[in-house]
Chains A and B, each alone.
Chain A
Amino acid sequence: MSYFTPEILIDQFINGLTIGGIYALIALGYTLVYGILFMINFAHGEIFMFGAFGGFWTITYLLNIGFAKRHIIITLILAFLVAMVISSTLGALLERIAYRPLRKAPRLTPLISAIGASIFLQNVMMLIVKARMQVYPDLISERYYEIGSFSISNFQIFIISFSIFLMIALYLFIQKSKTGKAMRAVAEDKDAAMLMGINVDRIILITFVIGSTLAAAAGVMVGMYYTQINHMMGFIPGIKAFTAAVLGGIGNVPGAMLGGYFLGLVEAFGVLFMPAEYKDVIAFSLLVLVLIFRPRGILGEVVSERA
């Protein structure tokens, strides 16, 4: 087909990297929580959605008071910070209220509780914003740079580099910091970690906060990139990011990153082969196929056997 010019392939590659970075950031939240609690935090997509709205409210407010036009960078930083604070507070509350009492319950109980929390949060947002599509204010106008025969927008450059930056930061945090070490210990063996003097409850809370912070960043990026947000926006990216986490091997931090990029690229190239309406089908089919043929994911899951 005349479809596959190198320009289109490179464009789709950049699109894939952009959306893949976003998937990876959300997927990390699933993987971190799953690695420690063996539960799917079904409400993670809603935490991402609240992050997107946090950024939306901040930018709108700062534009209204005329601050944003003069200090674009500061506005951007504030938007991300507010989003992260909202999301991580929410993540912590969720853990404390909906999940902690169920830590010893059969596996399906926390999952159902998570579904309940997810429905609850969607409807809280619906009551706040009235079920309408909200248009993200354009703080920065999208600009395309021509490099040779392909083009890349300033948004794409920003999303790609910022998500990589966040992931490197997370990786270093988990590998080098004392808290990160404690997180790894808890994921490995909760009881032994407790015996070593690690406050397991605190570490679990921190895990939720970190996952939510990354989701918030992804939320603001999605808002800026796709410009439209609503209260249901968390569902599909949530499922896809979960797919990414499973793809890479759930519980495995580098795996979630890899899975995110993999899914992003597969989707970006997939639309070249089939109508765009079926884009979501690609992710779901991929999930089903991976779970059937390689349930431990590309890099293998990191989950201790005693669940």
Chain B
Amino acid sequence: MAFGRHIQRVPFKIYMICLFIFLLFVPPLVGNYWTQVLGDIGIYIMLGIGLNVVVGFAGLLDLGYVAFFAIGAYSYALCASPQFDIHIPFWVMLPVCVLLAAIGGALLGLPVLRMRGDYLAIVTLGFGEIIRIVLNNLDPITNGPRGLLRIDPPTIGSFVINTPFRWYYLILAGIVISAFIAERLNNSRIGRAWIAMREDQDAAALMGIDILKYKLLAFTIGASFAGIGGAIFAARQGSIFPENFSLMVSINVLCLIIIGGMGSISGVIIGAIVLIGLPEVLREVQQYRMLAFGALLVIMMIFRPMGFIPSRRRKLELTE
């Protein structure tokens, strides 16, 4: 038995390592423009991994995920731009952004997590919109629709991360770390509690799982991933505007999870490549992109609700 398991697991690891080594050499091969696109995809992968914790692992439909992304981005931008002439280094701000996003998650989660799933979806959606409206109108702090400009890029010593190539590696590192954390979470006691809760809340509660605590944990952890994503986004763009944080970001992230396969990290990666990368390839048909997107969601729900690459565990659940 043990031997059989051994054989099954090794190829996957080797496969992942090969993929990683391959990814290290991609930027010189594809050039500046595509490295930039890969960076965009990378940020969405990080958001996807985070939202996957909330939606895929814990089964809480969060339609306002962009709010935490915005918290991360604006926290960094306010503390590292000429807006208030504060210039705190990126590496100091990164944990702060994560913390602030996590606090945001907890503050929203505490009152709303008692609600039924579909109510939760609408309330989080409302929260995402509130954040955007506030960012748009809080002129003295956020500079309103004119946005925050000239945000400091991160530096390592005197090495400034300011080209697509350098960003690519930073984002890649971020993805690897996020994916590792998410994978460990999924296979931990917490992860199993989330799954139990997702499948049958009452049964899980009877088994002694503190539902509210685990929901809150999922919400907070998910939000902190978005905090990292936000800080990286702000530093990479160099300028951010409230319209960067519209409902469409939440929907995009949600869709890439669903298309890729809820609960699986390779699914998130495939989903992000399909959803964010493909439109770059198909520039001419861009206006039909969202149209296809909407139709795809409906079709997926009807014919393949588990996504392209469902998590192994979820596949078992859905096909039993």
Contacts and interface: CB of A to CB of B under 8 A. Distances in A.
B301 A110 contact: yes
Interface in A113-127: 113, 115-124, 126-127
A123 B291 CA distance: 5
A189 B121 CA distance: 26
Interface stretch (A167-175, A180-188, A280-288): A280-288
B122 A98 contact: no
Given A113-B301, A127-B287, A120 B295 contact: yes
B302 A281 contact: no
Interface string B282-305: 000001101101111110111001
B251 A277 contact: no
A284 B129 contact: yes
- Interface size, B (range): 35 or more
A40 B301 contact: no
Main secondary structure of the interface of A (DSSP, over half): helix
A84 to B, nearest CB: 24
Interface residues of A, number: 44
Contact of B134 (A118, A281, A283): A281
B297 A116 contact: yes
A242 interface: yes
Nearest to B301: A113
Interface string B203-214: 000000000000
B298 A120 contact: yes
B34 interface: no
A288 B67 CA distance: 15
Contacts of A101: 302
Nearest to A289: B111
A119 B127 contact: no
A275 B121 CA distance: 27
A114 B203 CA distance: 29
A120 B299 CA distance: 12
Given A108-B117, A281-B134, A117 B298 contact: yes
A288 B123 contact: yes
Given A113-B301, A119-B293, A239-B126, 10 more contacts: A112-B301, A119-B251, A120-B297, A120-B298, A123-B290, A123-B294, A277-B137, A287-B123, A288-B112, A288-B126
